[in-house]
Chain A
């Protein structure tokens, strides 16, 4: 078994109780000193799946520290806009001012943060460049033209639910010309529930900041990676055991080949295995499989919240890393 796993790739081996590493037959990214030339030669990016707010791509031939840096930067250093200050002019609903403000802050906003500046002085008045202003003015009333029989709140009252679509953008200065579409990304986020007589009159100020400040500024719902799984069958598994083996993995990982009336398991596509290691439930299958993960092959998943497309978020993260490195070099040169 060891010989199969100790190939040229750096691997982690998923044992029954712990994770171990293999002994690669030749030097890998993990033990090399980082060098631009070799990195360029080896590094590959493969975009696997690209949807509106979700991107799956592979970074191959990269050291974990770098991959992790990108992940960390995406989570907490790429800035976005979010509501930071709420001026409560009137709030007669049952929701407390602070809780309302907190909920409003967590609403993702459609506004390209690259077009804004970070606000330097938090107490200063917001300007066109660093602040977006919104207004939320809504009042719940009795719905006079509803049928008398209905006892559903939606029929009896008007505006009994306050949604993010009720937030209206108030452009400052020339913002109206500069931006076309600004506002909450999702129209149907429930902000508050009201009953007749309740009223909200709020002025909302959104600023630019990053996820380290508060999670609401994070551009991603989550950004993470996993190592590419590699599953090898060490011996042939046939018949009922093959089907059992198939069930131990995610769908599509193991397929069953029929040959001369004989069924046996083969590895089809290990990529989408969830690493559940359920083979270890079966005493007889334990030794049939070697589950490993390739240590320099990262499958990134970036789930954007919607303010920025996921690919842009990644590019921003790279840019931030570049800026940080330049800043460091700059500082070192002054020492």
Chain B
């Protein structure tokens, strides 16, 4: 075929059918949470070795012969310690149940000196690493469904989280500004160019700012701004001409004030410049003996070499690279001053990097490993000089709990403190929400931003066009975290680090001129392009097109990693090559000469299973593009949009949404906030959590008795397996008004539907108890039930206890009944006293809830510390009642307003009466057209006996659906003729009715209902307690009080605020005005003038508290009538 024939090019491209099948193929390889797992795998297999290698030698000042060298490090398979140094392999589920940490030993091979001997030791455990589920070291990876079932694990569970102390913890994806890149932005001094350098050793921030026409460099190790000319001179670029060359701006007059600064300060040499900088250094906090030796000049040189622009390498104090880099920074500032288009957009997603579990853990591990070595060193320094019988053996001092505890603490609390970098982050980890399968999945794709939530900035919160396809445009919370917490789209992949060295070689071979080889004049010449690799200047090139082409060709042929991106920036006249980790990317079909490379045959091969997604990558049919390269490409959404400029084709349009938004049928017909609301609500819907939900013992678990897969599916639903673990039911709804109990989105529910199991749910809660052992050989004990001597039956509180003192499974427990009859020894901290009789105090674990529960099961086990734990799982079955919250998949929530008998429900010609009646007022303002179409498609699916699809930007067409309805004798608009169930007469209007997928949300009245007449009071103030859990009173607040004041209902106020609250009789002495007691004034020593009044106890408390502070408050009493 002749591709160059222009007529052929203009021919419309035939659509590749079932192209979307690449998405499941992609997910099969990558999985929904592959980014977490990839990142963790990279850490435990590659990064940890790098870290140990970088810190592999440990020497000590006390003994010059002494050293420890780590030769290898590896993370093993997860196991548990069974005592006596025996460990056995464990499963994540065992750890969940037994409140243990799912972790594997970190072992090292070392070489060290004992005395004068050199010893090698292999497989020494230095700590335990919590293992991410489904990572390369997890027992669950590459297991069949049967094997997973044997391990009590759900095959659909995505993994990617940790089990720490029995809790499932996710390390959220953290969004950050990319490191080692120049960002030109507006600051308080005007335009500035900032670089946050980050290497393994140092993290620092360097700014180039312009102040009063002079250019300065700012850095946190310098007390003051230093003119760039001085820095240049310190960097061994002493002549002004050379400085101008390196900055490379045409208008040199802009630089004169800066250059003049040198002359006024009389700095002409490198030494002079270093002296000047040395005087501006920030004083070091810890002065060590080594640093004292250094002169300010040496120190300044060191700072310039290692701290300022730390990521630019300096070898043997050859500062040329740094000088060129600084020159480029100054140039950027000058350019941006004259033209605003040179400013960078901080919110542009190409400037962002995502930090995942692997990189966060590696930071933490490196820190703790350094601390571990430092501790070993200080022990060695202390112990070696002592003269001892045995030789100093460092292995004996290697304790594994430092690293273990540090990692476990970090993951379990989410406090990421790394002192070296002065990094302190809170809430990095969160407990995996297991409300529903979707909420767990949604959590794994969540992206947390480092921005402050309180600041009222719109930039970082708003949807950036560069987020297209990478982040879900719908799924973000409402309120303070809006736009800061984001979710990944379905096909997003996050890169891990790729080795730079082959890329540098490749670039040099492709014609990049090494920057050290080129003269100052040539680097800024208008024909050359700078080549940057991960923020570092690699060199210059003239034929940049060839370079880009070579890189892309090699990437497509698989010779370099598929995640390396290369793109030109014509504004900066730079070529950027990135191979760093944390970039977002997604796959696209490559289009060449107006034709997609993926053909129908490829898809057929995929369907047959001959071809996998990786084959597509290998064959160069599909490639990954990161945000920056995506913006340098012409991407067509559909085949029909392909022009001769097009470079790539979208695989499937629905993948631009995330997991949660993927549940919504016909989202492209809805008003956008409605999809956002559904994303939040889908996480609260009850349903199935996983195939192993019956084996779990969570603190709170909701599940639906009869969950159903939705009638109207989407492709995302199938890809995320929501149809296998659904959370909702297909309710037949009628859109009409019924009684007055349906205002404000309330729903009317058919009682017969509830009787038959609609919306019935199970609520599981657990009760936990730990049996402690104490230092004095005493321990907590459990006793059997107390028997009432008269009836010979257990007393009521103990009625549900088994003979062992723990509740029996299957029993129904009422409020205040005892679950575990535990008692604690009263004296626990007296060592040595070997008294045989120990006093015990009863500390029973009681059931506290007004509704009874059943005991599902009881677990007795031990945890890692070998203490006995008892877990009791309680179960309630609830049928829907008035006030329970339901929601459709279109952000249309509502509470049950009325439960109606079946005979009162309207019915149609087929005898069908709806499960739910919804008020039509819910539609016009919400504009959820998707819901209307869902109903129609669902109804057609019922009569046809198939599922319809409501996939985003596709799905079954309304016309086809209507045709199907008409074919089966239904009204094509979905509106049926109904009869009133109450009068029996036909309704005047036709009723829009059919199935809509309804979710039962976790908010139920039973958990919230609260009222009280009288009840407990707080001890201090004698006012009613606060809150439902304490059976508190209902507060008459300030605003309500204002109303009563305004109305003048003073007696009412007295009744509410005093009589019904903390009324108190006090005696007041009319002589001294102080409070008396029992009709006696203690200061006047008389009872003559004491009278009794009522006042709020809080007032009396105030008076006495004032008295305690030596302030007397005197009351003067008058008769009310006078």
Binding site for B on A (CB under 8 A): 12, 14, 17-20, 64-65, 67-69, 71-72, 75-76, 88, 91, 94, 96-99, 102, 106, 211-212, 214-216, 218, 222-227, 247-248, 250, 274-278, 281, 293, 295, 301, 303
Within 8 A of A (CB), among B683-739: 694, 705
Is B903 a contact of A75 with CB atoms below 8 Å? yes
What residue of chain A has the Cβ atom nearest to residue B902's Cβ? A75
Chain A positions within 8 Å of B971 at CB level: 275-278
Report how far A234 CA is from B990 CA in the complex, Å: 23
Task: Give the distance to chain A from B514, nearest Cβ to Cβ, in Å.
Answer: 65
Task: Give the distance to chain A from B439, nearest Cβ to Cβ, in Å.
Answer: 23
Chain B positions within 8 Å of A225 at CB level: 979
What residue of chain B has the Cβ atom nearest to residue A101's Cβ? B877
Tell me the number of A-to-B contacts counted with CB atoms below 8 Å.
110
Knowing A96-B875, A276-B970, A276-B971 are in contact, say whether A18-B988 is a contact too (CB < 8 A): yes
Knowing A275-B977, A281-B966 are in contact, say whether A67-B984 is a contact too (CB < 8 A): yes
Chain B positions within 8 Å of A69 at CB level: 984
Task: Give the distance to chain B from A223, nearest Cβ to Cβ, in Å.
Answer: 8
Is B911 a contact of A224 with CB atoms below 8 Å? yes
Of B756, B810, B875, B977, the contact of A215 (CB 8 Å cutoff): B756
Chain A positions within 8 Å of B40 at CB level: none
Is B1065 interfacial (CB-CB < 8 Å)?
Answer: no
B757, B762, B985, B990 — which one has the most chain A CB atoms within 10 A of its CB? B985
Is B986 a contact of A12 with CB atoms below 8 Å? yes
9 A-B pairs in the complex with CB atoms less than 8 angstroms apart: A68-B983, A76-B901, A94-B694, A102-B757, A222-B907, A227-B986, A275-B971, A276-B969, A277-B977
Which secondary structure characterizes the binding site on chain A? mixed
Of A71, A88, A99, the contact of B877 (CB 8 Å cutoff): A99
Is A281 a contact of B972 with CB atoms below 8 Å? yes
Report how far A14 CA is from B990 CA in the complex, Å: 9
Is B988 a contact of A250 with CB atoms below 8 Å? no
Chain B positions within 8 Å of A278 at CB level: 966, 971-972
Is B20 interfacial (CB-CB < 8 Å)?
Answer: no
Given A65-B984, A247-B966, list of 4 further CB < 8 A pairs?
A64-B984, A68-B984, A68-B985, A277-B990
Chain A positions within 8 Å of B902 at CB level: 75-76, 211, 215, 218
Of B903, B909, B977, B985, the contact of A64 (CB 8 Å cutoff): B985
Is B8 interfacial (CB-CB < 8 Å)?
Answer: no
Report how far A102 CA is from B979 CA in the complex, Å: 31
Chain B positions within 8 Å of A102 at CB level: 705, 757, 760, 877
What residue of chain A has the Cβ atom nearest to residue B965's Cβ? A276
Report how far A252 CA is from B762 CA in the complex, Å: 49
What residue of chain A has the Cβ atom nearest to residue B912's Cβ? A222
Is A98 a contact of B983 with CB atoms below 8 Å? no
Is B989 interfacial (CB-CB < 8 Å)?
Answer: yes
Task: Give the distance to chain B from A42, nearest Cβ to Cβ, in Å.
Answer: 18
Is B854 interfacial (CB-CB < 8 Å)?
Answer: yes
Is A71 a contact of B977 with CB atoms below 8 Å? no
Report how far A225 CA is from B875 CA in the complex, Å: 42
What residue of chain A has the Cβ atom nearest to residue B978's Cβ? A19
Of A19, A96, A222, the contact of B987 (CB 8 Å cutoff): A19
Is B752 interfacial (CB-CB < 8 Å)?
Answer: yes
Is A64 a contact of B983 with CB atoms below 8 Å? yes
Task: Give the distance to chain A from B321, nearest Cβ to Cβ, in Å.
Answer: 66
Knowing A98-B877, A215-B755, A276-B970 are in contact, say whether A19-B705 is a contact too (CB < 8 A): no
What residue of chain B has the Cβ atom nearest to residue A229's Cβ? B909
Report how far A223 CA is from B902 CA in the complex, Å: 11
Is B983 a contact of A275 with CB atoms below 8 Å? no
Is B854 a contact of A19 with CB atoms below 8 Å? no
Task: Give the distance to chain A from B974, nearest Cβ to Cβ, in Å.
Answer: 11
Chain A positions within 8 Å of B93 at CB level: none
Chain B positions within 8 Å of A303 at CB level: 911
Within 8 A of A (CB), among B936-981: 966, 969-972, 976-977, 979, 981
Is A98 a contact of B909 with CB atoms below 8 Å? no
One digit per residue, 1 when the CB lies within 8 angstroms of any chain A CB and 0 when it does not, for chain B 795-827 equals 000000000000000100000000000000000
Binding site for A on B (CB under 8 A): 694, 705, 751-752, 755-757, 760, 762, 810, 854, 856, 875, 877, 901-903, 907, 909-913, 966, 969-972, 976-977, 979, 981-990
Report how far A19 CA is from B979 CA in the complex, Å: 11
Is B986 a contact of A18 with CB atoms below 8 Å? no
Task: Give the distance to chain A from B956, nearest Cβ to Cβ, in Å.
Answer: 19
Of A14, A212, A277, A281, the contact of B901 (CB 8 Å cutoff): A212
Across the A-B interface, the 4 shortest Cβ-Cβ residue pairs: A68-B984, A224-B911, A215-B755, A215-B752
What residue of chain A has the Cβ atom nearest to residue B856's Cβ? A96
Is B984 a contact of A71 with CB atoms below 8 Å? yes
Is A65 a contact of B877 with CB atoms below 8 Å? no
Report how far A69 CA is from B912 CA in the complex, Å: 18
Chain B positions within 8 Å of A18 at CB level: 988-990
Is B755 a contact of A98 with CB atoms below 8 Å? no
Is B989 a contact of A19 with CB atoms below 8 Å? yes
Of B705, B752, B757, B909, the contact of A275 (CB 8 Å cutoff): B909
Is B983 a contact of A214 with CB atoms below 8 Å? no
Is A274 a contact of B877 with CB atoms below 8 Å? no
Report how far A71 CA is from B875 CA in the complex, Å: 39
Task: Give the distance to chain B from A74, nearest Cβ to Cβ, in Å.
Answer: 9
What residue of chain B has the Cβ atom nearest to residue A74's Cβ? B903
Task: Give the distance to chain A from B482, nearest Cβ to Cβ, in Å.
Answer: 40
What residue of chain A has the Cβ atom nearest to residue B876's Cβ? A98
Chain B positions within 8 Å of A215 at CB level: 751-752, 755-756, 902
Is A276 a contact of B984 with CB atoms below 8 Å? no
What residue of chain B has the Cβ atom nearest to residue A220's Cβ? B911
Chain B positions within 8 Å of A97 at CB level: 810, 854
Is B854 a contact of A98 with CB atoms below 8 Å? yes
Report how far A99 CA is from B762 CA in the complex, Å: 9
Chain B positions within 8 Å of A72 at CB level: 903, 981
Chain B positions within 8 Å of A75 at CB level: 902-903
Is A91 a contact of B810 with CB atoms below 8 Å? yes
Is B901 a contact of A226 with CB atoms below 8 Å? no
Is A76 a contact of B903 with CB atoms below 8 Å? yes
Chain A positions within 8 Å of B757 at CB level: 102, 106
A17, A215, A248, A303 — which one has the most chain B CB atoms within 10 A of its CB? A215
Is A274 a contact of B903 with CB atoms below 8 Å? no
What residue of chain A has the Cβ atom nearest to residue B967's Cβ? A247
What residue of chain B has the Cβ atom nearest to residue A77's Cβ? B903
Is A274 a contact of B705 with CB atoms below 8 Å? no
Is A19 a contact of B984 with CB atoms below 8 Å? no
What residue of chain A has the Cβ atom nearest to residue B987's Cβ? A19
Is B969 a contact of A19 with CB atoms below 8 Å? no
What residue of chain B has the Cβ atom nearest to residue A65's Cβ? B984
Is A224 a contact of B907 with CB atoms below 8 Å? yes
Chain A positions within 8 Å of B910 at CB level: 274
Report how far A227 CA is from B705 CA in the complex, Å: 38
Chain A positions within 8 Å of B907 at CB level: 222, 224
What residue of chain A has the Cβ atom nearest to residue B989's Cβ? A18
Is B983 a contact of A65 with CB atoms below 8 Å? yes
Task: Give the distance to chain B from A249, nearest Cβ to Cβ, in Å.
Answer: 8
Chain A positions within 8 Å of B983 at CB level: 64-65, 68
Report how far A126 CA is from B319 CA in the complex, Å: 99
Chain B positions within 8 Å of A88 at CB level: 810
Of B972, B979, B982, the contact of A226 (CB 8 Å cutoff): B979
A12, A65, A98, A227 — which one has the most chain B CB atoms within 10 A of its CB? A98
Chain B positions within 8 Å of A65 at CB level: 983-984
Is B990 a contact of A19 with CB atoms below 8 Å? yes
Chain A positions within 8 Å of B981 at CB level: 68, 72
Task: Give the distance to chain A from B811, nearest Cβ to Cβ, in Å.
Answer: 11
Is B977 a contact of A19 with CB atoms below 8 Å? yes
Report how far A314 CA is from B856 CA in the complex, Å: 44
Chain A positions within 8 Å of B762 at CB level: 96, 99
Of A223, A281, A293, the contact of B986 (CB 8 Å cutoff): A293
Chain A positions within 8 Å of B909 at CB level: 226, 274-275
What residue of chain A has the Cβ atom nearest to residue B762's Cβ? A96
Report how far A69 CA is from B694 CA in the complex, Å: 46
What residue of chain B has the Cβ atom nearest to residue A16's Cβ? B990
What residue of chain B has the Cβ atom nearest to residue A64's Cβ? B984
